A and B are shown apart, each in its own frame.
Chain A
């Protein structure tokens, strides 16, 4: 299972983030190897979503640095992240509700456009051919995630599970190198979870996309990921393969609340 690539795609180095004095994340460092599925786990409020938001520039960390694809930055801007090939989904679905499934997926490809809005408005030059190209790719993503029966439906009217899939499709349409998934299976039944994990595995295997995901279902996490990072109260308490993490006493304590011997979590 372990795939330790020599050069990691993403490295977080000593990242700290606080909101008006409240610490969300405290000096976290870990590396995500190219081509792996990395899971971030931890109890509610452990700082998992905040960390994803730091990686793609929604939040700016107060200290630390991010190295992505060989480039080290103090912080990212959302569009820098997008241009670098980082796509993501959100914990609470963040689709464009007034638009159809197809249009949502097409917005995911907005960076793949070369023609200007004037060309598109006048319908001249490369605009038409590019429209076809964009549509063709969007259709491939739609087929891949099997949402084609709903491609012209408004996303606001779809079921929760389908909306989650449309959001994944929008992220995937950007042809990302790194895909950040914030609780892709939250609120799903067992069948839907199974489908979603298969999609994630297919994306990873077939498209070679590196995945970082947050998930609460430990069974799913252990089966799906190559690498698990455990957070608790904004700190990293575990990092390794699923087996290593499963046997880590601190992780067991955080999850099961076992009484620990005194200084187990010293600085």
Chain B
């Protein structure tokens, strides 16, 4: 009865096209946004902001970036962290070398540069598919990491290669506190997810899915495969680049190539597989699973009486348990958490009836 849908009929196509067609969903989203922008900064503490919420949000954004490419356009990629690194280093160097560069503009330009780099590494997708493409995007991972460590110009000749990120000042307001970083990340997250959702529902999004599902048929109805695939790489790179800037500036507080190694690429890939390929919501669910679950397991194991298992083994046990859970999840629901949520919501809409 919570979802009282009676009377909510779309009278115009525009009404049916809304992202949230049901009034309840719109109210729910509004409450969630108010809570996130007003409630959380007031309630949360530094630990929550810095260790949980910010990485969760940045990884959700990175997940969306990869999901556009892999989940929607069907092009596999293991170069996510490389494009994040390009975005972060580009934004850093723009801040460093261009006097008076506004922070947000440097993020955006960093995203554009990452998009262009992704486009170049996407060129092989015109000839190769599937796992072969996956391996060729792996090249991006190694090349970018090598270039950033080999040429010290990118790290401003810093001896350690680890640079403290500059203060986050936008229009004279300092966002460097944990709360400020949280709000900055949240703001960009909401904007980019809105744009992303619009994108996948637009003509381009449909073209991507057409290329994913059956590329011959897509070509025959007039979709230019070249343009669709390269745009997918470029836009995905843009999202990953901004996620990279946020990862370095708002989460790590340092800009360093090793923050963007291969394991980060895998992490982003896991997020979209667990969350759901071709789903926008799934990126949040997958990132929450990846970020929150290890923390939850850590807290649970702290409840065990001291001395039962020594701490080194406990850490390994957590990893084993986490891995096992991923496998269980993928067997139970191969389409990811987003699908699970969809089914739950369908239930909720007819509750208390069964169907």
Interface residues of A (CB under 8 A from B): 56-58, 78-79, 81-83, 87-88, 90, 94-99, 103, 106-108, 110-111, 113, 117, 120-123, 127-128, 131-132, 135-136, 170-171, 174
B2 at the interface (CB under 8 A from A): no
Instruction: Return the contact of B231 from the options A95, A106, A117 (Cβ within 8 A).
Output: A117
| A88 surroundings in chain B (CB, below 8 A) | 220
B171 at the interface (CB under 8 A from A): no
Given contacts A110-B223, A117-B199, A120-B198, contact A128 B213 (CB under 8 A): no
Minimum distance in angstroms from A191 CB to a CB of chain B: 27
Of the listed residues A57, A58, A110, A171, the one surrounded by the most CB atoms of chain B closer than 10 A to its CB is: A110
How distant is the Cα of A57 from the Cα of B12 in the complex, in angstroms? 39
Size class of the contact patch on chain B: 20 to 34
Q: Other CB < 8 Å A-B pairs besides A107-B223, A111-B221, 9 of them?
A: A81-B220, A82-B222, A99-B213, A103-B206, A107-B218, A110-B207, A127-B202, A128-B14, A135-B13
1/0 contact string of B1-38 vs chain A (CB within 8 Å): 00000000000111001000000000000000000000
Interface of A is mostly: helix
Minimum distance in angstroms from A86 CB to a CB of chain B: 9
Given contacts A131-B17, A136-B13, contact A96 B222 (CB under 8 A): no
1/0 contact string of B190-202 vs chain A (CB within 8 Å): 0000010011001
| A128 surroundings in chain B (CB, below 8 A) | 14
A79 close to B216 (CB less than 8 A): no
Residue contacts A-B, CB under 8 angstroms, 27 given: A78-B219, A82-B220, A82-B221, A83-B222, A90-B216, A90-B217, A94-B214, A95-B213, A95-B217, A96-B209, A96-B210, A96-B213, A96-B218, A97-B213, A107-B206, A107-B221, A108-B221, A110-B203, A110-B206, A110-B207, A117-B203, A117-B231, A120-B199, A120-B204, A121-B204, A122-B195, A132-B14
| B349 surroundings in chain A (CB, below 8 A) | none
How distant is the Cα of A131 from the Cα of B17 in the complex, in angstroms? 9
How distant is the Cα of A121 from the Cα of B205 in the complex, in angstroms? 10
| A135 surroundings in chain B (CB, below 8 A) | 13, 17
How distant is the Cα of A171 from the Cα of B199 in the complex, in angstroms? 24
How distant is the Cα of A79 from the Cα of B222 in the complex, in angstroms? 4
B206 close to A99 (CB less than 8 A): yes
How distant is the Cα of A96 from the Cα of B206 in the complex, in angstroms? 10
B258 at the interface (CB under 8 A from A): no
A94 close to B223 (CB less than 8 A): no
Interface residues of B (CB under 8 A from A): 12-14, 17, 195, 198-199, 202-204, 206-207, 209-210, 212-214, 216-224, 231, 278
| A58 surroundings in chain B (CB, below 8 A) | 216, 219-220
How distant is the Cα of A75 from the Cα of B64 in the complex, in angstroms? 40
How distant is the Cα of A127 from the Cα of B14 in the complex, in angstroms? 11
Instruction: Return the contact of A170 from the options B204, B209, B221 (Cβ within 8 A).
Output: B221
How distant is the Cα of A188 from the Cα of B224 in the complex, in angstroms? 33
| B209 surroundings in chain A (CB, below 8 A) | 96, 98-99, 103
Q: Which residue of A lies closest to B71 (CB)?
A: A98
Minimum distance in angstroms from A172 CB to a CB of chain B: 11
| B195 surroundings in chain A (CB, below 8 A) | 121-122
A121 close to B14 (CB less than 8 A): no
Q: Which residue of B lies closest to A88 (CB)?
A: B220
Minimum distance in angstroms from A19 CB to a CB of chain B: 16
Q: Ordered nearest first, which 3 A-B pairs have the shortest CB separation?
A: A82-B222, A120-B202, A94-B217
| B203 surroundings in chain A (CB, below 8 A) | 106, 110, 113, 117, 120
A132 close to B222 (CB less than 8 A): no
How distant is the Cα of A88 from the Cα of B199 in the complex, in angstroms? 27
| B214 surroundings in chain A (CB, below 8 A) | 94-97
Minimum distance in angstroms from A118 CB to a CB of chain B: 9
Minimum distance in angstroms from A163 CB to a CB of chain B: 12
Instruction: Return the contact of A121 from the options B199, B224, B278 (Cβ within 8 A).
Output: B199
| A170 surroundings in chain B (CB, below 8 A) | 221
Q: Which residue of A lies closest to B278 (CB)?
A: A98
| B220 surroundings in chain A (CB, below 8 A) | 56-58, 78, 81-82, 87-88
How distant is the Cα of A81 from the Cα of B212 in the complex, in angstroms? 21
| A94 surroundings in chain B (CB, below 8 A) | 214, 216-217
B221 close to A110 (CB less than 8 A): yes
